[in-house]
Structure 1
Amino acid sequence: MPARPVFVLHEHRKPRPHFDLRLEEDGVLRSWAVPKGLPVDSRHDRLAVAVDDHDLEHAIYTDADKDIADHGWWQLVDRNDRRLVFDLHGERNTLRYALIRTDRDWLVHLTKDQPNLR
């Protein structure tokens, strides 16, 4: 069985508090800065700003100003040019999100339909 692609949600304290969502793809961590963290309900999307890709080793990186808020693996559900739908299998739960490209940035959305896990 091939290895599952990792995800990590880093929590930064500097230069100002924010989160970085990182998804392993094509040998790197695709990354988005999410100033207010991942959404907790489907009615409130959050801004996600694409940032430079990071090396895979960054998935376990922490320092005095950065912790790992959650990590695990992710699974692609659907993708097109403007949207990426995926499940994050984290430490505490599995949730389905969509990254939606806007004209300038991205929005991260917690989907109404969540994966039915047994």
Structure 2
Amino acid sequence: MDIDGGQRFVVQIHDARRMHFDFRLEVDGVLKSWAVPRGPSDNPRDKRLAVPTEDHPLEYRAFEGVIPRDAQGSGTVIVWDQGTYRPLSHDPGGAPVPFADSLERGHATFWLDGAKLHGEFTLTRFRVDDEDGTQGPEAWLLIKANDRQAVHDRPGTPDPHHARSARTGRTLHQVFAAEGPGRRTD
């Protein structure tokens, strides 16, 4: 859905079996999703591995809470960042390329206007072949462009254990304490 000239994105911190960030972009009525183990960075020197995961429904961009142990993806989730994005990809003739087509082609450039992430980013697909020459699984790199919003003098991603939600201001620990197993109900 277009709002303020862009589609929505969300970055959730997910304290699951392994702590990671979920980077999600609204595309054609779903949230295209990637698990980013070290989180997105606003430092152009940081090339972040982004592993594609299943598409999520649009409603999931607001989810913050505890997924029960017996459910897929169990763990605590906060919305670390949220906002809008604008596709920036163009064909060789300079015409805009639909964002879904850019992803299909394996290279998508976009501008984020979030609470925390700002500026131009790129997702680029690659594959690592297995030793026997068979094609390995798909992976992507998420990279910040060297624009005015880039940082150079510090790490580009916060410590997820101390990060606060862009929606509620809570930490993972606070969400778990309020909603997790054994929580107080009085």
TM over 0.5: yes
| Rounded Cα–Cα distance in structure 1 between residues aligned with 2:45 and 2:110 | 18
Q: Paired residue for 1:76?
A: 87
**Within 5 Å, which residues of 2 pair with 1:59-70?**
59-64=61-66, 65-70=76-81
Shift of 1:88: 1.0
Alpha-carbon separation, structure 2, partners of 1:108 and 1:92? 16
Point out the structure with the larger helix share.
2
Shift, 1:41, TM fit:
1.3
TM-score, scaled relative to structure 1: 0.88
Aligned residues: percent identity?
A: 34
CA distance in 1, matches of 2:13, 2:20: 6
The structure having more radius of gyration, on CA atoms, is 2
How far 1:43 sits from its partner (Å)?
1.4
Q: 1:93 to 1:32 in 2, by over 3 A?
A: closer
Q: After TM superposition, what 4+ stretches of structure 1 lie above 6 angstroms from structure 2?
A: none
Q: Deviation of residue 114 (structure 1)?
A: 4.8
Aligned to 2:118: 94
Go from structure 1 to structure 2 and tell me whether the alpha carbon gap of 1:18 and 1:92 turns closer, same or farther (over 3 Å shift): closer
CA contact (8 A) 2:119 2:147 kept: no
Q: Tell me if the contact between 1:84 and 1:100 (Cα under 8 Å) persists in the aligned partners.
A: yes
Residue 18 of structure 1 and its aligned partner are, at CA, apart by 0.3
C-alpha separation between the residues in 2 aligned to 1:58 and 1:75? 20
Structure 2 residue 131 is matched with structure 1 residue 107: no
Q: Which amino acid aligns with 1:37?
A: G
User: Per the alignment, do residues 98 and 55 of structure 1 end up closer, same or farther by CA in structure 2, a change over 3 Å counting?
Assistant: same
Higher fraction of strand: 1
The alignment partner of 1:59 has SS state of helix
Q: 2:109 aligns with which of 85, 89, 93?
A: 85
Q: 1:52 to 1:114 in 2, by over 3 A?
A: farther
Gaps (5+ residues) in structure 2?
Answer: 67-75, 90-96, 128-137, 150-186
CA–CA separation in structure 2 for the residues paired with 1:83 and 1:45: 14
- CA–CA separation in structure 2 for the residues paired with 1:100 and 1:86: 12
**CA RMSD, aligned part only?**
1.6
Alpha-carbon shift at residue 113 of structure 1 (Å): 3.3
Count of paired positions: 114
2:55 aligned with 1:53, yes or no? yes
| 1:58-103 CA-partner distances (Å, limit 9, x unpaired) | 0101113000000011110115412100111101452211000001
Separation in structure 2 between the aligned mates of residue 39 and residue 28 of structure 1, nearest angstrom = 24
